[in-house]
Amino acid sequence: MKGIVVIDKPKDWTSFDVVDFLKKRLREKTIGHGGTLDPLATGVLIIAIGRNSTSILNTILKNSKKEYIAEILLGSESDTYDITGNITKNNIQRFPELQEIKNALDSFIGKIQQIPPKYSAVKISGVPAYRLAREGKEFELQPKEVELFEYKILNYSAPVLKIWLSVGSGFYVRSLANDLGDLLNTGGLLSSLIRSKVGIFTINEAIDLKTIQDDDLEVYFKGQGLVQGIGFRNYARFWAKRLNISGKAKNIENNFIEIIGQGKIKNLQRFLDRIQNGPPMANVKKQFYYFRKIQIPYSDFKKN
């Protein structure tokens, strides 16, 4: 299995835990991820498998937006800025009204200076900040420019605030929870977090690790060039039937072909190896593919 894979990271797993699991499960040494998720968080973790995939992943995710669904607990604070740390509570007399929260959140819209949590992967002289924090060492983190594009309040029932966020690279939702609590004079910490989207990749496509174990996935392939009118769809269907792959092949606008394959990992990789070049007359100038959770199950392979 080589390429980009969209994983749904389980709660209490580190991003490294996921990489380590996949190395053992897939027997592949070269695996990396694009964008760390804290153990508290779940959701989209983009994995690159194989040497060439890491550079492709960096290109895909460069300056990509991320979306989160976060729950913030007002009235409490912690040294990690989330519920896993040492928690202290404020004896506040009144929780803020919804409009007060909206006014506070509005002040974070756009490019802002944000200080990362001390318990984070930010490096100081090559050492992760969280390691220094655990050792009780004193240090200061410098603010960095991040961007909040948009937010929506999904629910507010004091003391719990649930929000949707669209942010740029390097944004710490834990820091937002802490800073919002400071601004509201209540204190605040992150109690749960789901990363629902990274670039074009969504939570609906994300594969849970059980699915990897069950060995039943989908590969999405899109190629452009001389791919139409030369039997590419028939070629894809021929190899799909030989490899017990279901799905579809469809010509779409701008001289693209779109192919979806569903089946076992080993068969999907063999199928992908075939369609990357196409039939003898094909000339695939551009291509993009990744592995994901099955979206719409197919019983056979269709040519549209």
SS3 2: coil
Residues sharing a CB contact under 8 Å with residue 298, sequence separation 6 or more, in sequence order: 246, 247, 248, 260, 262
Residue 129: which H helix or E strand, with range?
A: helix 129-134
Catalytic residue among 8, 38, 82, 179: 38
**Is 38 labeled as catalytic in the residue annotation?**
yes
| Dist. CA 279–CA 251, nearest whole Å | 15
| Among candidate residues 230, 277, 222, the one with its CA nearest the CA of residue 250 | 222
| Among candidate residues 187, 254, 188, the one with its CA nearest the CA of residue 222 | 254
Residue 300's CB: how many other CB atoms inside 10 A? 11
Residues sharing a CB contact under 8 Å with residue 215, sequence separation 6 or more, in sequence order: 264, 265
Residues known to be catalytic: 38
